[in-house]
Amino acid sequence: MTERGMSEPGKHNLAVLAEESYARHGDHPMVFFEGTWHSSTEIAERSARVAGGLRELGIEPGDRVVVLTMNTPEVFVSYRALWRVGAVVTPVIFLQTPPELRHILEDSGARAAIVTPELLPLIRAASEGLELAVIVAGGVEEAGVVAYESLERADPIDIAPRGDDDLAALLYTGGTTGRAKGVMLSHRGLWESGHALHRVGESQGNTRWLLPLPLSHAYGLIVVISGMHSSRPQSSVLQRWFDAKGWLELAQEHRVESSTVVPSMLQMLLDQPYQDYDLSSLRSFGSGGAPLLPALREKAEEAFGVTILEGYGCTESSAVIAASTIEESRPGSVGKPLSHAEVIIAGADGEPVPTGEEGEIWVRGPGVMQGYWNDPEQTAATVVDGWLHTGDIGHFDADGYLYVDDRIKDLIIRGGFNVFPRDVEDALLAHEAVTAAAVVGRPDAQRGEEVVAVVALHPGSRATPEELIAFAKTRLAAHKYPREVRILDAVPVTSVGKTDRKAVRSMVRTSEGES
């Protein structure tokens, strides 16, 4: 793998994939956004010019460039342009605090960041003192930033050769402890994962999609790449950010056939007067990013007359491992492993367990990450002899369907976004009254999981749950801060003095009627 300089062309170059897709389908309506259709020709021509502008700006093959934007057509343009110039797409969800974003900027060594205007204050606060070119899409012309439109005035450039194993994307994920780690994904890994997902969806025949998910998320990224493999022209209706009423209006107006969602979105749609809209064109939802409660799936399928296709993956697997199809969909299951992924359920001894028994889900194949950026120790612990140890507990049934039963790690997934207990605990422990804290996820019909904290106070100190929630809110991204804090005499610990998360979970869930 080379991080700078040119390497031999690879057949899995994602810029080549984008160009082949355009050549195959020609000019067609590609992206609808806020009242305007953007054609495939427009996207292709803009990306070739922006790639030229990036090169003039000094971006070279292997350079990391952060994409920190709301959903806009410029995301489609930027991904294609960055791969065309040979750069490494570094997508970042905008739900970040300045310290969280600064860590990503510093750790990745990003040369530039592409942002939308509303996120300019965030990038400025996070990048103070760093040598970072800030590129703003959306008509902003001011000192200290580069207008996206100025890049489009450059001459188009040819695709920079990149090898199959060269980096295409660097996505940051936190695990259950420590700071966010950069997941290194190659051109071939993303190409193969996108192709496998495309093969699963091809039989549905859908050509018009509604995309409310952040395209800067691993799930959104792989959906974009999957669309490049399609044998039919694809049209995407794009939401800047999900809102249920707007989703229903767009689905009706554009006769949408399918939409990629996380479970919390389904609940919000059900809370709307969806019966007032003509949604007869809908065939399916693709659901991922968080556990889907069976009751929610049943309710949504009945309400919208669709099949909900559950899937499973993680950032370290290029977003996808298994997925359901219209023909093979089983409630409670995330489907069967995709064609590019070899999956086993491993016992404590590292050997496959019998069908039906639980164990850790291991996956091997081209989609597995090349490793964690600048972290060989954690890489060696996570990918062993080519097998990615997901940290998830699951099992296969007799027909080969995969079920994800629990997580070994303490990761909380709230509304499709990862929340790491230690981050929340550290924020609460910064309060002068708090002496101990433990954070767990509680099953939640709308968000998949909700963040709940239990804390103990220093003797003689006072603090209310509302005060502690407000305190944490100032230190954590919007999806991370606890929505509930309980004050205890003491936080449960094990016999060796470690936080007893099992006891905390039992306490939280029992009081909510959970068994």
pLDDT averages per 10-residue partition of the chain, 515 residues: 45 96 96 97 98 98 96 96 98 88 96 95 96 91 89 97 96 68 97 93 82 86 92 94 95 96 85 96 87 81 94 93 91 93 95 94 98 96 97 93 80 84 85 90 90 92 96 94 95 64 84 51
- Split into its structural domains, the chain has a count of 2
Alpha-carbon span 81 to 336, nearest angstrom: 34
What burial class does residue 297 get, using C-beta atoms within 10 Å of its C-beta: 0-12 exposed, 13-18 middle, 19+ buried? buried
| Domain-ending residue, one of 180, 207, 222 | 180
Alpha-carbon span 139 to 68, nearest angstrom: 16
Residues 6+ apart with CB under 8 A from 378: 175, 181, 372
Residue 195 lies in a domain: no
Residue 285 lies in a domain: no
Chain position carrying tokens 């407000």: 470
CB of 118 within 8 A of CB of 84? no
Q: How far is CA 125 from CA 97, 104, 174, in A?
A: 9, 13, 21
Residue 139 lies in a domain: yes
Nearest Cα to Cα of residue 440 among 403, 484, 399: 484
Gyration radius (Cα) of the chain, Å: 23
pLDDT score, position 5 = 38
The CATH number given to whatever domain includes residue 104 is 3.40.50.980
Residue 419 lies in a domain: yes
| Domain-ending residue, one of 180, 206, 234 | 180
For 438, the domain range is: 412-511
Residue 64 lies in a domain: yes
Instruction: List the helix and strand counts (H, then E) for the chain.
Output: 15, 27
Q: 263-270 vs 294-304: helix axis angle to the nearest 10?
A: 50
Helix (H, G, I), strand (E, B) or coil at 181: strand
Alpha-carbon span 34 to 38, nearest angstrom: 11
Chain position carrying tokens 């065309």: 84
CB of 479 within 8 A of CB of 290? no
Residue 310 lies in a domain: no
- Dihedral Cα 246, 248, 249, 252, nearest 10 deg: 150
Q: 39 pairs with which residues across the strands?
A: 29
| Domain-ending residue, one of 180, 198, 217 | 180
Q: How far is CA 406 from CA 246, 361, 501, in A?
A: 34, 10, 14
CB of 113 within 8 A of CB of 65? yes
Alpha-carbon span 458 to 489, nearest angstrom: 10
The CATH number given to whatever domain includes residue 454 is 3.30.300.30
Nearest Cα to Cα of residue 410 among 172, 103, 212, 178: 178
pTM to 2 decimals? Answer: 0.81
Q: What single letter denotes the amino acid at residue 99?
A: P
Assigned token pair, 109: 């060594």
50 membership: H or E segment, kind and range: helix 40-56
Residue 420 lies in a domain: yes
Residue 470 lies in a domain: yes
